[in-house]
Structure 1
Amino acid sequence: MNHTVQTFFTPASTDCPPNYEMLKEEHEVAMLGAPHNPPPPTSTVIHIRSETSVPDHVVWSLFSTLFMNSRCLGFIAFAYSVKSRNRKMVGDLTGAQAYASTAKCLNVWALILGIIMTILLIIIPILILQAYQ
């Protein structure tokens, strides 16, 4: 450990002899080093855009359009899904949620009607064939 004293106030620069407090302070600074002030607290803020939380149901709407397009509900749902995706790209999350909600409702109805139509297309021919036997 180096015990050299660094003098900050020399008698030549202050035009008066150093007193006891100044020498004591110089000795403490030399022994302890520079004053240890804790660094100011820093924080990192990560902004996650909420655009990923708005589903646009494009894939579901495309499936409804291709396979269960009863009463053109799948096509209309696809149109609303595309509008929702466009609103999301522009940054209008409220409009995107409104269009996505409409697309979801139309997709649900297209799915329900598609399932009912499929069941009817299976049951009716079976009933007709049994009636002729």
Structure 2
Amino acid sequence: GNMRNESSLSTFVQHTTVNINREMPQDFFIWSLMNFLYCNPFCIGLAALIHSVKSRDMKVAGDVEGARSYGSTARILNIIATSAGCFIGFIIFIVLVTRR
């Protein structure tokens, strides 16, 4: 019989896979709301809440980069507001405890 060499007929196809990160950025809305309601030093909590809402709006509109930018700013403002609120609370606590 006539045997063909199958390996000589095979072709090599190279596949390239591109993974697109479609993970939506966080908007930190709950944290911003808590800072606004309970711990709003120098209105930083309000600014964080505004940026969180803007981030959420950008997510709904499909603008991932805009949402990421506003979310990042909201996160920084929340860190500042939480730190300032804790610091002010600590100072008030120290003043009240040491007072006679």
**Partner SS for 2:36:** helix
Amino acid at match of 2:27: D
Structure 2: 5+ residue runs without aligned partners? 1-19
| Aligned-pair identity (%) | 36
- 2:90 counterpart of 1:89: no
Deviation at 1:53, TM superposition (A): 3.1
Separation of aligned partners in 1, 2:35 and 2:80: 10
Q: CA RMSD in A?
A: 1.5
Q: What does 1:18-29 correspond to in 2, within 5 Å?
A: none
Q: Specify the alignment match of 1:121 in structure 2.
A: 92
Counterparts of 1:125 and 1:91 in 2: how far apart (Å)? 50
Confirm whether residue 79 of structure 1 aligns to residue 50 of structure 2: yes
- Which ranges of structure 1 fall in alignment gaps of 5 or more residues? 1-47
Match of 2:70 among 99, 104, 122: 99
Query: Structure 1-normalised TM-score?
Result: 0.58
TM-score (norm 2): 0.76
Question: Which consecutive segments of 4 or more residues in structure 1 shift more than 6 A?
Answer: none
Structure 2: how far apart are the matches of 1:87 and 1:125? 45
